[in-house]
Amino acid sequence: MQDRSGVMEKLASLGKRKGFIFRSSEIYGGLGSTWDYGPLGVELKRTVTERWWTDVVAKREDVVGMDAAILMNPKVWEASGHVDSFQDPLVECGQCRRRFRQDHVEGDVCPECGGPLSEPRMFNLMFKTFIGPLEDEGSVAYLRPETAQGIFVNFRNVQEASRQKIPFGIAQIGKAFRNEITVGNFTFRSREFEQMELEWFCHPDEAGQWFEYWLQARFDWYISLGVAREHLRLRPHEPDELAHYAKVCQDIEYEFPFGWSELEGIADRGTYDLDQHLELSGKDIRYLDPNTHERYVPVVIESSGGIDRTVLTLLADAYDEDEVEGEERMLLRFAPHIAPIKAAVFPLVKREEMPETARRIVEELRARAWNVLYDEGGSIGRRYRRMDEVGTPFCITVDGQTAEDQTVTVRDRDTLVQERVSIDSLAGHLSERLNP
């Protein structure tokens, strides 16, 4: 498909209609840039997190996981620099009162109404709350704006408990919160989102090579989800764009219909975070090399990706329109191993043994923990279209011939080819395609 303008609007409407993504608390008019995942959206999200955990943690001897609390001692955010530096320049239009991030607007007039913009004022992105009954300075706490600090403050705990030796990584998946000034582009910039972060601890002499290693590994990971290579690129940060903690950073970007935008950042954080925590906490959290007996602060190479942005990428990349037998078709071309519904089973008609046979097939396939649907409503063409719209790769139809020779048809969403497959070999047939 050539023209991708309008795709985000179509995805938002398809997302709601089919149960991928809803606006949060929609019946009350929603809440700015927070989102709820419906039955199909949560499947996609779980697939992303499970694949990340499998590839980054489970398959590797040198990475261990953890799960830190969202609320942390506020000293963490002082040490990390977030209290002082995690801020964006906010400008306000004197005419329509809309607010923007100064670095997101060109020139000094309002992009919406052309009114004059105010002088920028720095705005901290952390959500503030209070612990306990008193709302005073002493009880301030923040909702974490990144999961990484939970890893840094536990560096010593995890290293000693797991007996990992440098180089090794600590991985975490969890919610993060940012009071973003400008939001939009569907879920791309949300105020509550989920991160998947790997903090890789290495000797300072090896930082460069590990940075390159993780950059490549993480880029390839998006391709393994079925995202088109030509829609992905690496973009090094300009020096003035670097976060306060980073020495070098490259973004993995996806070409969304609204332009190239960040999916994940790979950064050399140097020894910044551990140095800061060492200083402010006064605890010696340095690493002791068991061979050389050298005590040092390791360098951190970070890979920080967003689950919501990955889900949005999968949706945007899969969205397509074509024509089948003179009729327009809207479809999601998810790779089979990513698709939220793996297959649907249809009785051609609601007669004879067809519904029973179809239900038996659904049960057998579900026993493999595949999300498989039964559908007997409407013409077979309509049932195919419904599944195309949610990206189901295979539709299985029980027809008149099934009773004679115990075969069904398996229709491929992309090629539209229908194969006859015996019921006995159906699970094996699908398994090959669902587990590349």
Q: Pairing state of beta strands 372-374 and 343-347?
A: parallel
> Least distance to ligand ATP from the beta carbon of 322, Å?
30
Pick the closer one to ligand ATP by CB: 197 or 388.
197
Q: How far apart are CA 21 and CA 27, in angstroms?
A: 14
Residue with tokens 């999916």: 263
Residue in the structure block whose two tokens are 């973003």: 180
Give, as ranges, the residues between 131 and 190 that touch ligand ATP (CB under 6 A): 178, 180, 189-190
* Residue 82 interacting with ligand ATP (CB under 6 A): no
Report the C-alpha gap between 340 and 391 in whole angstroms.
Answer: 8
Choice between 189 and 413, CB closer to ligand ATP: 189
Q: 240 to 299, contacts with ligand ATP by CB under 6 A? A: 262-265
Backbone angles phi, psi at 300, to 5 degrees: -110, 125
Specify whether the CB–CB gap between 374 and 356 falls below 8 A.
no
Residues 6+ apart with CB under 8 A from 313: 222, 227, 254, 256, 263
Closer residue to ligand ATP (CB): 36 or 405: 36
Q: Is 304 in the site for ligand ATP (CB under 6 A)?
A: yes
195 forms part of the interface with ligand ATP (CB under 6 A)? yes
Nearer of residues 252 and 373 to ligand ATP, judged by Cβ: 252
102 binds ligand ATP (CB under 6 A): no
How many C-beta atoms lie closer than 10 Å to residue 157's C-beta? Answer: 12
**Binder of ligand ATP out of 150, 306, 340, 347 (CB under 6 A):** 306
Contact 118, 94 (CB under 8 A): yes
364 forms part of the interface with ligand ATP (CB under 6 A): no
143 forms beta bridges with 71
CB of 178 to ligand ATP, least distance (A): 5
Q: Which stretch binds ligand ATP (CB under 6 A): 157-165, 304-312, 316-324, 325-333?
A: 304-312
Coil vs helix vs strand at 374: strand
Q: Quick one: 262 or 389, whose CB is closer to ligand ATP?
A: 262
Does position 309 interact with ligand ATP (CB under 6 A)? The reply is yes
Q: To the nearest whole angstrom, how small is the minimum distance from the Cβ of residue 197 to ligand ATP?
A: 8
Alpha-carbon gap, residue 264 to 223, rounded angstroms: 13
- Using CA atoms, how far residue 375 sits from 222, 338, 378, 428, in Å, is 32, 21, 9, 22
In whole angstroms, the minimum distance from the beta carbon of 383 to ligand ATP comes to 35
Q: Binding to ligand ATP by residue 308, rule CB under 6 A?
A: yes
Residue closer to ligand ATP, measured from CB, 304 or 402: 304
- Separation in Å, CA 60 to CA 56, 57, 169, 219, 258: 7, 5, 10, 18, 36
Residues that bind ligand ATP (CB under 6 A): 178, 180, 189-190, 193, 195, 262-265, 304-306, 308-309
